[in-house]
Amino acid sequence: MGLTRVLAVAAAVAVLAAGCASAAPSPDASASPSRSADTAIGAVGPVAAPASTKEPDAIVVPSVEAIPDKPDTVNSTSLPAVLKSNYSYAQRLFEYTNQARRDNGVGALKWSSCAQSAAIARAGRALTRTTLSHEPLGTINCAGGYLGENLARYPGGPEGMFKLWMGSPGHRENILNPKYTTIGIGCAAYSKGSGFTLATEPNDVLGRVCAQVFLG
C-alpha cells in the first residue's frame, strides 16, 4: 500500500467531565462542570506489529530546563537532533493553528509550557500503542477548566497533519474554539522499522505522533 493514509477518527465530540473521554476540571478551575472536546485522528502507512507493548525507556519528557518556553526557541544545541526536529514540527503546527484561528476571526492562542510538557508525554505514550487513543484529559495538571486534545499519527510533514485535523469536524472545532486561550504541542517521531518504536536518529524517522493540548 505504500504510504496509504487511512483516517481513523476515534472521537469528535464535546462531552461533560465524566468518563475516559472527558476531563475533570484542573485544580485551578471553578467548581462548575467543564466541557471537554476529546478527539483523535490517525494516518499511517504499513508498519510492523510491535514486539512488546511495554513502554520503552526512551520515552522521557525533557526536564523543565530543556523544554523551550516558546516554540520559537527550539534550536537549542543542547537537544538531540530528533528532539530538536520534533520541536520544530510542533512549532509549525502552532503557527498553522494560530493562522487558522486568525483566518476565522478567533484570537490567537498563547503558548503553555505546562501543556507542552503534557503533550510531549501523551504523544510519546500514544506512539507505542497499536490503536491511536486518548488518555483521560483529567490527568493534565495545568491551569484551566476547559480542556481539549487533538492527537494524530502521520507519515509526513506538519502541513499535511494540520490539513487532516482541519478536514475533520471535531478537530477543527478544537482548533477554532474561542474558549481555548493557550496551547501546548508535543510530537514523538516513530521509526521506519516499526511505527510503534521511537526513532532515535533523524534518518530513521518515518513519521510522527503529535498531540495538541488546549487549555481555556
Burial of 64 (0-12, 13-18, 19+ CB in 10 A): exposed
Q: Is the dihedral of CA 144, 73, 86, 82 positive or negative?
A: negative
- Gap between the Cα atoms of 109 and 144, Å rounded: 13
pLDDT in tens, 13-70: 222 112 122 333 332 222 222 333 444 444 333 222 232 333 333 333 333 334 444 5
- DSSP H or E segment with residue 15: strand 11-16
In this model, does residue 178 exceed pLDDT 90? yes
- DSSP H or E segment with residue 38: strand 35-42
3-state helix, strand, coil in the chain (%, to 5): 30, 20, 50
Residue 151 and residue 209 in contact, taking contact as beta carbons nearer than 8 Å: yes
In this model, does residue 161 exceed pLDDT 80? yes
In this model, does residue 7 exceed pLDDT 80? no
Q: Tell me the Cα Rg of the chain.
A: 16
Residue 70: per-residue pLDDT:
53
In this model, does residue 204 exceed pLDDT 80? yes
Residue 67 CB neighbour total at 10 angstroms: 21
pLDDT in tens, 146-160: 899 999 999 999 999
